[in-house]
Amino acid sequence: MTKRIDLLASGSGTLAQAIISAVKSGSLDLEIVRIISDRPAQVLNRANENDIESTLLDYSRFSSREEWGSELERIIDTDRVDLVVSVGFMRILPKKIVEKFSIINTHPALLPNFPGAHAVRDALTAGVNETGTTIHWVDAGVDTGKVISQVRIAVEHGDTQDSLHERIKIQERFLIVETLKQFATAGLEK
């Protein structure tokens, strides 16, 4: 039986598109039930272009974090998915949601190093020779969940935030698809 996933995304949707393309090509045996964004974003256009249900759960339209979280919980519950995949979703999920659902996240650094929203900048500022990308389980902390998979990337002389982040994104797209292939066939150890 094909496993079902929801995607959470806040931006252009290149990670979501990598998953969509792998599903459409038949190399990834999953059903993408819905793409959810917390703000108007290009990823919602990608959903529409690929006939995937999408939901704009605009954080700014809710009176509280709890109200927003309750609606997100209701939507995921309704979708009856096996896994929630956060791909560039720039919102910390309420504890209730991360305890109720199996959720994985992509992160542009080698966790536990450089958690948070500025991982690429932080790696450059620290002067490290390598960084990378991580797929990890989401828990109640910020990028503190158990690591599932990682790819290392050398920091090159003259790298800027943009140049390094572009190289990380290429590996991130590969890694999320490979990790989801493992989930689809054998599951992921939590």
Catalytic residue positions, numbered: 107
| Beta carbons of 67 and 86 less than 8 angstroms apart | no
CA distance 73 to 57: 11
Distance CA 151, CA 133 (A): 5
Q: Cβ(57)–Cβ(89) under 8 Å?
A: no
Establish whether the linkage from the previous residue to 108 is cis, with ω within 30° of 0. Answer: no
The helix (H) or strand (E) run that includes residue 172 is helix 161-186
> What span, in angstroms and rounded, lies between the C-alpha atoms of 54 and 38?
11
CB 190 within 8 A of CB 137: yes
What residues are paired with 50 via a beta bridge? none
Q: Which helix (H) or strand (E) holds 174?
A: helix 161-186
Nearest to 119 by CA among 179, 104, 127, 110: 110
